[in-house]
Amino acid sequence: MPIQFSSGRGTFDKIAGANTFPLVREEVRGAKPSTIRFRDLISTDEVRQKRTEFLNWFEKFEKNVGCSPHDPNTKPYCIWDLTLDTNGELRKLISIPDRYRQGYVWKINGHSAAFSVTITQPGSIAEPHVDQSGSASLLNELLGRKLFVVWPPTPKNLEWFSDKYGSFSGSIFDIALEQLEEPYCLVLEQGVYDLLPPGHFHGVLSPTNSAIAGVPIVHSNLREIAERVMKWESDLIERLRQGSSAAKKLADDIERGMLEDRELWRRLEGEIS
């Protein structure tokens, strides 16, 4: 797989050259318990009230890059989709790049872009998934680095994900690498931002302590691919509603995300008109 650098790529120098570790740590310390979600890196189970354990190992890995996250004495966790404090020092480092201001609409929190952050310890692997079907993700690497393996939403790839989207357990990364088409890689170093198009499936590997922020964003140039993937997602929702109670709950969760994307498109249409 080639390492692809997209035309939407750029760098925030003030993030690339900053010691952002203390800011990430303080963001975790200051988060309300109801807003922070932890995941066990080994079992992938969601867990609660693990702030102290997370910070202990996060600081240990930062001080000792040779520390193994798979040491039986460690208990590493990751944090995902934590909405950044709009008044926090970490959020103040991020802005919408000039190239994404003209003609773009993004998710907002109050009067500013609603960035959420995923924070991971070394050795974490995010299984192939999609962030949003109907909007792109403007990604900002705030700490460390990540490797993205990305697959576009071709008909073959969408069909393959139809019975796995949001409902699989265990690892499908190896199988995805073997069976999905047109994969490419993105390497995000600290300070780098990039645009992940709508509906692009991706798995993520974190070789270091890392934190990445993202916000959903739309533009008229992204409409065709967004509508195509949302149509696939709508068909999937209808099938899930015919299934078990768990499948119906999954359908509700997927639909909520799609409705948020639809709202971004309505806002864009209002600005254009």
Distance, in Å, from the CA atom of 92 to the CA atom of 89, rounded to the nearest integer, reads 5
Query: Is residue 4, in this structure, part of any structural domain at all?
Result: no
Query: Is residue 3, in this structure, part of any structural domain at all?
Result: no
Distance, in Å, from the CA atom of 106 to the CA atom of 265, rounded to the nearest integer, reads 9
Instruction: Give the pLDDT of residue 91.
Output: 93
Query: Is residue 1, in this structure, part of any structural domain at all?
Result: no
Q: What is the mean pLDDT of residues 12-35?
A: 94
Q: What are phi and psi of 9, to 5 degrees?
A: -85, 145
Q: Note the pLDDT tens digit of each residue in 115-156.
A: 999 999 888 888 899 999 999 999 999 999 999 999 999 999
Bridge partner residues of 108 (DSSP): 113
Query: Is residue 53, in this structure, part of any structural domain at all?
Result: yes
Q: Note the pLDDT tens digit of each residue in 75-118.
A: 678 899 999 999 999 999 999 999 999 999 999 988 899 999 99
Contact 61, 121 (CB under 8 A): yes
Query: Is residue 181, in this structure, part of any structural domain at all?
Result: yes
Relative to beta strand 116-120, strand 124-129 is unpaired
Distance, in Å, from the CA atom of 124 to the CA atom of 142, rounded to the nearest integer, reads 16
Query: Is residue 218, in this structure, part of any structural domain at all?
Result: yes
- Name the domain count of the chain: 1
Q: Is the pLDDT confidence value at 29 over 90?
A: yes
Structure tokens at 35: 């807003």
Angle (CA) 260 262 263, round 5°: 65
Query: Is residue 128, in this structure, part of any structural domain at all?
Result: yes
Residue 130's closest CA among 252, 28, 261? Answer: 261
Calculate the alpha carbon distances from 243 to 69, 177, 232, 236 in Å: 38, 29, 17, 11
Residue 94: domain span: 10-272
Q: Is the pLDDT confidence value at 6 over 80?
A: no
Query: Is residue 197, in this structure, part of any structural domain at all?
Result: yes
Helix (H) or strand (E) holding 176: helix 173-179
The CATH number for 255's domain is 2.60.120.650
Q: Residue 169: pLDDT band by 50, 70, 90 thresholds?
A: low
